[in-house]
Amino acid sequence: MKRPAWLANAVFYQVYPQSFYDSNGDGIGDLPGLIAKLDYIRWLGCTAIWLNPCFVSPFLDAGYDIADYYRVAPRYGTNADLLRLFKEARTRGLRVFLDLVPGHTSIEHPHFQASCRHARNQYSDWYIWTNDIWTDTRDLRSVNGYAERRGNYITNFFWCQPALNYGFAKPDPRAPWQQPVTAPGPLAVRAELQHIMRYWLERGAAGFRVDMAHSLIKNDPGFRKTNKLWRDIRAMLDREYPDAALVSEWSSPIDAIGAGFHMDFAAQFNAPIFNPLFRAPGDAWGSHGYFNARGDGDALAPLEEYLRHYRATQPRGYISFQSANHDMARMSGGRTLPEIEVAMAFILTMPGVPFIYYGDEIGLRMPDDIASKEGGYERTRCRTPMQWDATRNAGFSTAPASKLYLPLDSSDTRPCVAAQMRNPRSLLQRVRTLIALRAATPVLQADAAFKPLYLRKNAYPLVYMRQAGATCAIVALNPSHRPVDVTFRAPAPAGGMRMLLKRGAQITCSGTRCTVRMRGVSYAIAASSA
Ligand code: NOJ
Ligand code: CA
């Protein structure tokens, strides 16, 4: 398998298009708006963008319910705008990933509408239908009473997201409506998936973030047939688009990378790696993981889980840490700006390919109580508009405040890009410095090996090493408010160690004996001088 070389030093920036920048004053962010802000994303130092779905949709799940995979939603612009985005991004050294939603469409998709018909047609088997509307579909959720056709359709997420029919790995003989993966419907759906991918890759997309990647084939213990499906797609990419890449929403790097994905997110679903570190064990909306000044978290269990996945996937693929995404609490939840900075220092010095969620670089906050928008529910809190400056609507839009996609942070002290750009000590500038350090220091990038140096149960700090050949770096992080000093052993590099970046902390090594002295909420990064 080939791996695009650009991933080795990639840093992604996730853009939620409706909330990023509104270029035409209708209150909703759009593609020309994103193009206008590419210089900012490049200034921050990111090398790639993941753009949430931007296709025609009734927006019952904020665009994860697609009605036309080949056409940009008019509220975001036109296909020509998307092609211009690819081009303008590339001239700035930025690659653009689209969001691929392979598992379900919108109920408004013409294929689904055709599939709803009583008379058999080309699309009858493109979705999963039972034989009558009274079937108990057990652990698969379904909707009955919607269509003229006699049957329930299986859903993947909301009622309005009918599952495409990729077949069942082990169809239940008592349920003849469950088709094998080799049936004509599932084969046609697969071919269409590849067609959509080729269509956008051909026009300049650099790859895809793949929604619910593990869930296409139903009843597939061990993901055996799901793996085959994705491995075929990976083979297609390696053959035809060797520079393109895929990141999965799977949350199990061993499985996802085994299935041929280039990268998998550490977060999402039950997230045993991500949540205990950054949110709360088992809760993407909690705010008291290890990276919190209360200092009552544990890094050992999640990092042991990380190491299990890391060791099993090296060097085939990458584990991606995110600062947050559009489905979970922002990094600012329950954290001060210095605490966010320590968390960012971790994300930006770990192996794999890091992702920054728009706004986390300035500590964008979440409203406590907000009406659900477009199927967001609790998630609506982390989808509010980017705050650019101190002008009206924080520079997001010239629309009247009542027309904005979502309300802005209403406090006088709301963070914004312009003010943080002016302040050399701001979170924004520190995140930029961390990204620049990663860009300039290969041993901090995706491929260099990772080894914990000080990692104890329920203890602070966390210290680890990155190593590539004779070069190494040491990263020490103390998210807790309590100062702490620890001594540990580390390999002694020939020319000794030099500090690269620090905030309230110091690393000193003599021979193989290293000491870190750390204030509360501090970090330090050192590397071998040779
Ligand atoms: C995961 C996406 O991130 C989320 O926003 C969406 O609602 C579901 N998949 C369904 O597509
Ligand atoms: Ca707009």
Dist. CA 446–CA 425, nearest whole Å: 27
Q: Position of tokens 């000193």?
A: 508
Q: Residue 470 C-alpha to ligand 1 middle, in angstroms?
A: 43
Distance of CA 34 to the CA centre of its chain: 18
Residue 387 contacts by C-beta under 8 Å, 6 or more apart in sequence?
A: 359, 362, 364, 394, 395, 396, 408, 409, 414, 415, 416, 417
Q: What's the pLDDT at 2?
A: 79
Which string of DSSP letters, residue by residue, matches 337-363?
A: HHHHHHHHHHHTTSSS--EEETTGGGT
Task: Please choose, from the candidates 446, 444, 420, 416, the residue with its C-alpha nearest in 3D space to the C-alpha of residue 431.
Answer: 420
Q: Which long-range contacts (CB under 8 A, 24 or more apart) does 137-146 make?
A: 140/218, 146/107, 146/116
Q: Residue 156 C-alpha to ligand 1 middle, in angstroms?
A: 10
Q: What's the pLDDT at 268?
A: 72
Q: Residue 119 C-alpha to ligand 1 middle, in angstroms?
A: 32
Q: Which atom of ligand 1 is nearest to the CA of 103?
A: 11
Residue 377 contacts by C-beta under 8 Å, 6 or more apart in sequence?
A: none
Sign of the alpha-carbon torsion through 131, 134, 138, 140: positive
Task: Please choose, from the candidates 127, 122, 121, 352, the residue with its C-alpha nearest in 3D space to the C-alpha of residue 218.
Answer: 127
Residue to mutate (ligand 1; options 51, 54, 61, 249; most atoms within 8 A of CB): 61
Q: What's the pLDDT at 364?
A: 98
Q: Give 216: exposed, middle or buried? Use CB within 10 Å, 0-12, 13-18, 19+.
A: buried
Report the interhelical angle of 224-240 vs 184-202 (nearest 10°).
Answer: 30
φ/ψ of 271, rounded to 5, equals 45, 60
DSSP 385: P
Q: Which ligand is nearest to the CA of 99?
A: 1
Q: Position of tokens 């056409």?
A: 71
Q: What's the pLDDT at 494?
A: 80
Neighbours of 441 (CB within 10 A): 19
Spell out which residues line ligand 1, taking CB within 6 angstroms: 61, 64, 101, 157, 211-212, 249, 326-327
Q: Residue 404 C-alpha to ligand 2 middle, in angstroms?
A: 10
Per-residue pLDDT tens digits of the chain, which is 530 residues long: 778 999 999 999 999 999 999 999 999 999 999 999 999 999 999 999 999 999 999 999 999 999 999 999 999 999 999 999 999 999 999 999 999 999 999 999 999 999 999 999 999 999 999 999 999 999 999 999 999 999 999 999 999 999 999 999 999 999 999 999 999 999 999 999 999 999 999 999 999 999 999 999 999 999 999 999 999 999 999 999 999 999 999 999 999 999 999 999 998 777 899 999 999 988 889 888 999 999 999 999 999 999 999 999 999 999 999 999 999 999 999 999 999 999 999 999 999 999 999 999 999 999 999 999 999 999 999 999 999 999 999 999 999 999 999 999 999 999 999 999 999 999 999 999 999 999 999 999 999 999 999 999 999 999 999 999 999 999 999 999 999 999 999 988 888 899 999 999 999 999 899 999 999 999 999 999 86
Q: Are 82 and 99 in contact (CB under 8 A)?
A: no
DSSP 421: H
| Closest residue by CA, ligand 1 atom 3 | 327
Dist. CA 67–CA 106, nearest whole Å: 5
Q: Residue 346 C-alpha to ligand 2 middle, in angstroms?
A: 35
Task: Please choose, from the candidates 351, 97, 109, the residue with its C-alpha nearest in 3D space to the C-alpha of residue 209.
Answer: 97
| Residue 14 one-letter amino acid | Q
Q: Are 282 and 270 in contact (CB under 8 A)?
A: yes
Task: Please choose, from the candidates 321, 313, 207, 299, the residue with its C-alpha nearest in 3D space to the C-alpha of residue 253.
Answer: 313
| Closest residue by CA, ligand 1 atom 6 | 64
pTM (two decimals)? 0.98
Neighbours of 311 (CB within 10 A): 10
| Closest residue by CA, ligand 1 atom 1 | 211
Task: Please choose, from the candidates 98, 237, 128, the residue with its C-alpha nearest in 3D space to the C-alpha of residue 189.
Answer: 128
| Residue 514 one-letter amino acid | C
Q: Position of tokens 């693929």?
A: 317
Q: Which atom of ligand 1 is nearest to the CA of 375?
A: 7
Which string of DSSP letters, residue by residue, matches 293-342?
A: TT----SHHHHHHHHHHHHHHTTT-EEE-BS--TTS--TTTT--HHHHHH
Question: Rg of the chain over CA atoms, in angstroms?
Answer: 24
Report the interhelical angle of 427-440 vs 337-347 (nearest 10°).
Answer: 10
Residue to mutate (ligand 1; options 15, 161, 212, 322; most atoms within 8 A of CB): 212
Q: Residue 25 C-alpha to ligand 2 middle, in angstroms?
A: 6
The β-bridge partners of 499 are 526
Neighbours of 26 (CB within 10 A): 15
Q: What's the pLDDT at 530?
A: 67
Residue 433 contacts by C-beta under 8 Å, 6 or more apart in sequence?
A: 501
Dist. CA 371–CA 130, nearest whole Å: 35
Q: Position of tokens 């009622």?
A: 159
Count of residues in the chain: 530
